[in-house]
Every structure is written in structure tokens, then in C-alpha cells.
Copies of this chain bind each other. A is one copy, B any other.
Amino acid sequence: MTQPPATDQVSFLDGRTRLYGIVGDPIEQVRSPEMITWELQQRGANAVLLPLHVREPDFDAVMPQLQRLANLDGLVFTIPFKARALGLASRLGPQAQQIGAINALKRTRAGAWVGEIFDGSGCVEAFRRRGLPLAGQRVMLVGLGGAGSAIAAAVAGQQPALMRLHDLDATRGARVADTVRRISPGTRVELGPPVVDGMDVLMNASPVGMLGDPRLPIEVDRLPEALVVFDAIVKPEMTPLLALAQRCGCRTVQGREMMRGQIARMVDFFLENS
């Protein structure tokens, strides 16, 4: 039999590789392993981000033990664990403190676990990368769930002139309005049905338009050409709202760009010394 070739090993993994994981149930659909691992390795880190399939009833028993793996440096949380992840953090980063939710955890050199949330900063990063300002702008935001409330807080951090917020749940709307006012006292905050007249930016963070849903998150036939239109939905990449915006000549920002922005900020967080 011939000798095995000298290349009988992979180059992306060895005994010194640092581990990160995304925790969810189910896990097969996540995109973070290929995208965050790419970003980690682009930055020169010997690190991978793995899918970690923790079944929902096992979460409380499994997670504290996983956190004891000495070469596991960070975790990302997806459905259905976003809310429960908060309990695993020993302290919170600035965005997480504002919102009271996390989607990532990292181990500090001292061994503490810091929680932070990147849904909102991913959106702000996507606008920054496209050279589209949010400071001083008038922003209409539809949908104030997990992603929407994080986007509201991050956009507020950019000091827009006006934020008009809409959610079917009025209590939620009032709570997010308070958060925005606290973060940016100079921003005028309105609660009410979605409008585009007098707005510079329209953001959708509701599920309307997701996965074959033909509806728009706002009742309009046309959009002003000067409006910048953002949709947080990742699948499909071209939602009904974005398709309308493109027909009307608007500039658009896609959910995938927010995801890329989120990944960049999350990897900053994972790799910075703290």
C-alpha cells in the first residue's frame, strides 16, 4: 500500500484552536459557524465558532458546565435561548445594560462572563459601511421585538433628530420609547402607526415580509425616492418592502448587511482583551 500523503491533516484546526459556539435548538439552520469562523480567521485568530445543539430542556444543566471548558472563549445564542442567556452572564456590556437582553457572552481574562447584544450595532454598522448617516435623521422603525428594541437603542445612540416607533404591542412601544429617550434626550420620540412622509429612513424589524409573506410592514403604494429603506429580514434577501423601495428609486440596506455588521462587532467583542 502507498504511504499516506504528507498532507494528511487540515490546517484550520489544531490543539491550540480557541472555541466559540452558537447555542440553539434546532441548530442546523444557523449561518454563524461559516460566517463568524471566516471573520475570526480573517483577523488571524486560531479559532472556530461551532454549532452547539443544546436541547431546550437541557439548557440549565448543560450551559454552566460548557462554560467550564477551558478553551471555550465565547458563546452566541439563538432561538429559543435569547432570553435565558441573560442568566449566564456575570456582568453586562453597555448595549446589553440599556436593553436588558444579550445575544453573546465572552469569557474575560479574569474568568468572568460578559454579556452583550449586537442586533442593533449590526444595523448601525451596516449604515456606517454604506456611508449613510443616522445622526440628525428622522427614522421610522416598525417592529419592537428582540431585534427591533436592540435596533432602537443602537440607532438612538447615533442621536437621530426624530424616532417614530410602531409595534402592535403598545406596552412594548412605551418601554422602547423610554429607552430611546434615556439614551438620546435630544431625539424627538413619537409612538404611532407607520408613516413615511417627513421621514429620512424607514426601518423594518417586524417579521412582515419574511419567508414568502407577500405583505408590506406599512400601507403604501409608493415610497419617496429620497427615503433610505432598511429591512432586518435575512430570508428572503429581497423582501416585498425592499423590492418596492428599489422600484421607487430608494437606497436600500438589506438584512444580510446587518448580519455582516453584527458579525464584525461581535468578533471585535470576542477578540478584544478584557
Interface residues of A (CB under 8 A from B): 1, 4, 8-17, 19, 25, 27-35, 37-39, 41, 48-55, 58, 61-62, 65-66, 68-71, 129-131, 260
Instruction: Please determine whether A10 and B12 come into contact, CB atoms closer than 8 angstroms.
Output: yes
Instruction: Please determine whether B1 and A14 come into contact, CB atoms closer than 8 angstroms.
Output: no
A70 to B, closest residue via Cβ? B53
Which residue of the partner chain, among B14, B27, B41, contacts A34 with CB atoms under 8 Å? B14
Instruction: Please determine whether A8 and B69 come into contact, CB atoms closer than 8 angstroms.
Output: no
User: How many copies of this kind of chain does the complex include?
Assistant: 2
The majority secondary structure among interface residues of chain A is: loop
A13 to B, closest residue via Cβ? B33
A119 to chain B, nearest CB (A): 19
Provide the residues of chain B in CB contact with A4, threshold 8 Å: 260
Interface CB pairs A-B, < 8 A, 5:
A11-B34, A15-B28, A15-B33, A17-B51, A55-B70
Q: A52-B71, A129-B1, A130-B1 are in contact. Are A38 and B65 (CB under 8 A)?
A: no
A33 to B, closest residue via Cβ? B13
Instruction: Please determine whether A61 and B65 come into contact, CB atoms closer than 8 angstroms.
Output: yes
